[in-house]
């Protein structure tokens, strides 16, 4: 698909070229027909299938969302059946459940058909995305869609520990997950910084190790029901034997060393670890898991198992003697011993375990799911040994990589030498939202809209991978997700008003359209972040992969290939950024926290001006290029933990005719 800026801008309110609105995830088969179904006040829905609370409530939510998008006052007693929801059975949520559906829209009516009530939920989301309009009416284009997911496990991990995420945060993200057909919410509930679930058997866990921020069991039951009604499973994670400082604060007798222990306020891999040689550890875990498995209906319990550094084990004489007695050569064997004990506990409770890469060991049962975060080789190793795998490598959304980076990261990379049976063991993937650098105000902006691109990678055919097309659709889907209560767009304004001391925030918004947070874990190199650190600076208000910058980068590419319309857009944006620095500098005079980004704003302004000089003169002045080279070198050092999201486009404009970058 050739990028066309006018089409991109028009996407906010109209259909894509060819008459199909921006669907995400894109369905397996789409056939556009002649005509359209026009919406009216008499729009009625008929349910044709066994009673399902999911479908009944989905029907109500659908009508409410449709009314809000159109302003139509739908009749309380419609005389016309315009949409038929037809399905055969209701099912319990589980991996590999049938989520397929078929949607037929004609000028006379619409039929959404599925084998299960879950399929109806997935189809309703596609139908909502199909809503279109012209100057006369709102309508659905005549179309035939057959759809089913490529992978059965399409998840999102939310870390509730480093920064606590209230129930309302989780609910709005569940709604967003449902909108893009994701089906697993993985809740990280314990770590060194806290324990986030009420335990009636061991109340000190939430009383002493949560700072007062935890979910009551009643809240969790309500959340599980809320998710179930939207076709989403909740898988809890209780990280053991490492990342367990919070457990040991409450119950130090579980620890390898005597302690005392206090909740960690900093981040990284910590030394405290449970003692695998103590019988009371397993008695404790048996009672604990008996309690939580009654609370969580899903068949899987995540035990973590990651980043056990062995420091405390190496200091214990008891551990050393135990390992010698059992002929254990290293700590991986000791952890495997611990895991086997835990797996037996879970098996008796009729639950299946899953854990991170580090639990992989030749001695563990093959019904354990490995969640792989350490790359392609780790995935291949696990599936070749007969394990099912959920891939998270390449989907760490907290690292602020681009949507394109995640989108092109396939759970089954092209050219991977796996048999069809081995490929079938790759169940799908999970986006992972670790919360060291987000709180309730900013977490949505780190999850969305990029996770919608991951959702498409996990649902749609592997050949659906056009990055430009993805970004055009993502721009629209981002706005649609806001309807569900997500704050990924609106909270930026709130943060900027706070930063600007309630002055005009437009210059800040213009600046943020061209910058993004630095990637990976680099932010920790610039500040000593703790659980109490403020997350209210410009870097926190910024978003990874800002779509205005993406559109600018595409436009530069097309301008250099001779597209005049793209060139006009490029010039307009450069003028905006060139003139913005002075206004931003003025606001910073009343807001000291803004001063850390002024050097980057100045560079943005100057590079914009120099780029305009090259474009307008049509040639390259060596003095201009020398200054540009110097400025570009300065951007190698992040400023306020931000970097220019358009730096490569500056290089292309400035040095294209020289033939170097």
User: Rounded to whole angstroms, how far apart are CA atoms 62 and 52?
Assistant: 15
Q: Copy the structure tokens of residue 333.
A: 């064997």
| Helix ranges (DSSP H) in 180-275 | 204-208, 217-228, 245-250
Distances (CA, A) of 566 to 4, 552, 588, 613: 8, 9, 33, 17
Strands (E), 53-122: 80-89, 101-106, 109-116
Q: For residue 154, report the phi and psi dihedrals to the nearest 5 degrees.
A: -130, 95
- Closest among 303, 312, 369, 362 to 332, alpha carbons compared: 362
């995830």: which residue's tokens? 25
Rounded (to 5) percent helix, strand, coil in the chain = 45, 15, 40
Contact 429, 458 (CB under 8 A): yes
User: Rounded to whole angstroms, how far apart are CA atoms 38 and 535?
Assistant: 47
Residue-wise burial string across 107-117, b where 16 or more C-beta atoms lie within 10 A, e elsewhere: eeebbbbbbbb
Please classify residue 148 by burial: count the beta carbons closer than 10 Å to its beta carbon, then call 0-12 exposed, 13-18 middle and 19+ buried. Answer: middle
Contact 101, 156 (CB under 8 A): no
Q: Is the bond preceding 87 in cis, omega lying within 30 degrees of 0?
A: no
Q: Copy the structure tokens of residue 583.
A: 């206004």
Q: Is the bond preceding 592 in cis, omega lying within 30 degrees of 0?
A: no
User: Rounded to whole angstroms, how far apart are CA atoms 500 and 104?
Assistant: 51
Instruction: Determine whether 307 is an active site residue.
Output: yes
User: Rounded to whole angstroms, how far apart are CA atoms 238 and 419?
Assistant: 33
Contact 346, 353 (CB under 8 A): yes
Q: For residue 11, report the phi and psi dihedrals to the nearest 5 degrees.
A: -60, -25
Contact 363, 299 (CB under 8 A): no
User: Rounded to whole angstroms, how far apart are CA atoms 227 and 170?
Assistant: 10
Which of these is catalytic: 41, 168, 253, 307? Answer: 307
Per DSSP, 147 falls in state: E
- Closest among 245, 250, 239 to 204, alpha carbons compared: 250
Q: Copy the structure tokens of residue 159.
A: 């870390």
Q: Copy the structure tokens of residue 352.
A: 């299946």
Q: For residue 593, report the phi and psi dihedrals to the nearest 5 degrees.
A: -65, -20
Q: Which residues pair with 515 in a beta bridge?
A: 644
DSSP string, 415-440: T----HHHHHTEEEEEEEE--TT--T
Residue-wise burial string across 33-60, b where 16 or more C-beta atoms lie within 10 A, e elsewhere: eeebbebeeebbbebebeebebbeebbe
User: Rounded to whole angstroms, how far apart are CA atoms 232 and 228?
Assistant: 5
Contact 509, 411 (CB under 8 A): no
């254990």: which residue's tokens? 328
Q: Copy the structure tokens of residue 568.
A: 């006009």
Looking only at the bridges linking them, the beta strands covering 80-89 and 43-48 are parallel
| Helix ranges (DSSP H) in 114-203 | 117-129, 167-179
Active site residues: 307
């Amino acid at each position: 698909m050739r990028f066309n800026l006018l089409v991109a801008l028009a996407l906010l309110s109209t259909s894509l070229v060819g008459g199909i609105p921006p669907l995400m995830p894109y369905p397996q088969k789409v056939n556009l027909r002649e005509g359209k179904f026009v919406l009216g006040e008499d729009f009625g829905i008929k349910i044709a299938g066994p009673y399902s609370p999911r479908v009944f409530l989905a029907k109500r939510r659908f009508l409410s969302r449709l009314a809000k998008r159109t302003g139509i006052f739908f009749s309380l007693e419609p005389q016309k059946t315009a949409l038929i929801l037809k399905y055969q059975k209701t099912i319990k949520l589980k991996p590999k459940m049938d989520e397929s559906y078929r949607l037929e829209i004609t000028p006379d009516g619409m039929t959404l058909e599925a084998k299960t009530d879950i399929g109806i939920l997935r189809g309703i989301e596609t139908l909502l995305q199909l809503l279109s309009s012209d100057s006369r009416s709102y309508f659905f284009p005549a179309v035939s869609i057959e759809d089913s997911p490529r992978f059965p496990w399409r998840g999102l991990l939310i870390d509730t520990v480093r920064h606590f995420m209230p129930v309302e945060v989780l609910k709005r993200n569940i709604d967003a997950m449902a909108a893009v057909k994701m089906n697993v919410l993985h809740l990280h509930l314990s770590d060194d910084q806290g324990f986030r679930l009420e335990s009636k058997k061991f109340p000190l866990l939430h009383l002493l190790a949560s700072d007062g921020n935890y979910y009551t069991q009643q809240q969790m039951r309500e959340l599980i029901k809320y998710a179930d009604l939207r076709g989403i499973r909740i898988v809890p994670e209780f990280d053991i034997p490492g990342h367990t400082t919070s457990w040991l604060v409450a119950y130090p007798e579980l620890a390898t060393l005597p302690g005392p222990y206090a909740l960690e306020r900093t981040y990284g891999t910590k030394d405290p670890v449970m003692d695998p040689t103590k019988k009371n550890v397993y008695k404790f875990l048996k009672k604990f898991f008996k309690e939580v498995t009654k609370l969580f209906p899903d068949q899987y319990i995540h035990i973590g198992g990651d980043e056990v550094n062995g420091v405390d084990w190496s200091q214990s004489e008891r551990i050393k003697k135990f390992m010698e007695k059992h002929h254990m050569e290293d700590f991986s064997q000791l952890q495997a011993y611990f895991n086997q004990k835990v797996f037996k506990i879970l098996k008796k409770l009729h639950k299946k375990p899953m854990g991170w890469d580090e639990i992989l060991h030749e001695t563990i049962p093959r019904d354990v799911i490995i969640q792989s975060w350490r790359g392609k080789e780790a995935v291949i190793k696990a599936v070749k040994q007969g394990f099912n795998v959920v891939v998270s490598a390449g989907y760490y959304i907290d690292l602020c990589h681009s949507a394109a980076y995640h989108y092109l990261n396939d759970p089954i990379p092209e050219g991977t030498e796996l048999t069809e049976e081995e490929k079938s063991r790759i169940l799908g993937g999970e986006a992972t939202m670790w919360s060291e650098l987000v709180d309730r105000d900013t977490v949505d902006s780190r999850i969305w809209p990029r996770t919608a691109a991951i959702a498409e990678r996990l649902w749609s055919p592997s050949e659906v991978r056009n990055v430009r097309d993805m970004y055009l659709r993502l721009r629209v889907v981002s706005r649609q997700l806001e309807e569900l209560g997500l704050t990924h767009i609106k909270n930026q304004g709130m943060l900027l008003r706070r930063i600007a001391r309630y002055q005009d925030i437009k210059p800040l918004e213009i600046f943020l359209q061209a910058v993004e947070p630095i990637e990976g874990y680099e932010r920790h190199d610039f500040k000593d972040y703790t659980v109490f650190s403020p997350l209210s600076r410009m870097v926190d208000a910024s978003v990874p992969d800002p779509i205005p910058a993406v559109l600018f980068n595409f436009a530069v590419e097309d301008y250099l290939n001779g597209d005049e319309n793209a060139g006009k857009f490029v010039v307009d944006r450069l003028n905006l950024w060139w003139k913005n620095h002075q206004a931003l500098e003025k606001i910073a005079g009343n807001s000291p926290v803004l001063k850390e980004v002024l050097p980057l704003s100045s560079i943005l302004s100057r590079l914009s001006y120099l780029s305009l000089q090259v474009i307008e003169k049509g040639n390259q002045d060596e003095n201009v290029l020398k200054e540009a080279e110097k400025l570009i070198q300065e951007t190698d050092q992040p400023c306020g933990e931000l970097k220019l999201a358009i730096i490569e486009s500056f290089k292309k404009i400035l040095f294209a005719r020289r033939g170097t970058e």
